[in-house]
């Protein structure tokens, strides 16, 4: 979650141009950058939970990815769809 917030700040500030720049600089795939950035589509309360997890919390990458996909398909509470 912290990485998604950091990446978002880099894009907004113009430090990097897009996800491709992030992937190249980080040595990861564009698909992985997209997965990381999709965390920003989670509701704010869930983002906060992820930021402050304790070491004994049972959270998996697959579980979080499923949450992100659910949010993206169901849309936001204000009725708009996530991009």
48-61 tens-digit pLDDT: 988 998 777 778 88
Q: For residue 41, what are the CA distances in angstroms to 5, 6, 36, 66, 75?
A: 11, 15, 10, 12, 9
For tokens 């500030």, name the residue: 13
Could you tell me the residue ranges of all domains in the chain? 2-74
pLDDT of residue 79: 46
Residue 76 has pLDDT above 60, yes or no: no
Residue 83 has pLDDT above 90, yes or no: no
């Amino acid at each position: 979650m912290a990485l998604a917030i950091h990446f978002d700040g880099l894009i907004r500030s113009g430090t990097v141009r897009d996800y491709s720049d992030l992937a190249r600089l980080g040595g990861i795939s564009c698909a992985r950058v997209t997965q990381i950035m999709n965390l920003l589509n989670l509701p704010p309360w869930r983002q906060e939970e992820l930021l402050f997890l304790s070491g004994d919390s049972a959270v998996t990458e697959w579980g979080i990815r499923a949450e992100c996909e659910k949010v993206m398909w169901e849309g936001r509470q204000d009725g708009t769809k996530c991009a």
